[in-house]
Amino acid sequence: MTTNNVEQEIISIISDVSGFEPEEIKPDTNLQNELEIDSIKAIEITVAIEKKFKIQVRDEDVPNITTLKQAVELVNTLISQKDANA
């Protein structure tokens, strides 16, 4: 899966949970401040990402994801690790 595909999937998930339009979600958009993502919504997004990409996001990584760009980078890293271990 390409980085662009990963980004589009994550934008879709964030849009569904936050209620914001996909066009409003940019790579440097602050999820908490600009999209009003609280801890409950962050967990919803994390669970949806885990299911979509069949990866496991560590609990301690969740608070470090403050932008779309960070989420995409983390997912790409986890996908690479999963593929390397397959």
Write out the H or E segment, with its range, that includes residue 17. Answer: helix 3-18
Domain contains 83: no
Domain contains 55: yes
Residue 32: CB atoms within 10 A of its CB come to: 15
Give which of 63, 71, 61 is closest to 27, Cα–Cα: 71
pLDDT in tens, 34-82: 999 999 999 999 999 999 999 999 999 988 899 999 999 999 999 999 8
Using the structure block, give the residue that is written with the tokens 């390409």: 2
Domain contains 30: yes
Domain contains 61: yes
Count of structural domains within the chain: 1
Instruction: Give residue 44's domain range.
Output: 3-78
Indicate the residue type of 45: I
CATH code for the domain in which residue 59 is found: 1.10.1200.10
pLDDT in tens, 28-44: 999 999 999 999 999 99
Domain contains 33: yes
pTM: 0.92
**Tokens linked to 82:** 């999963």
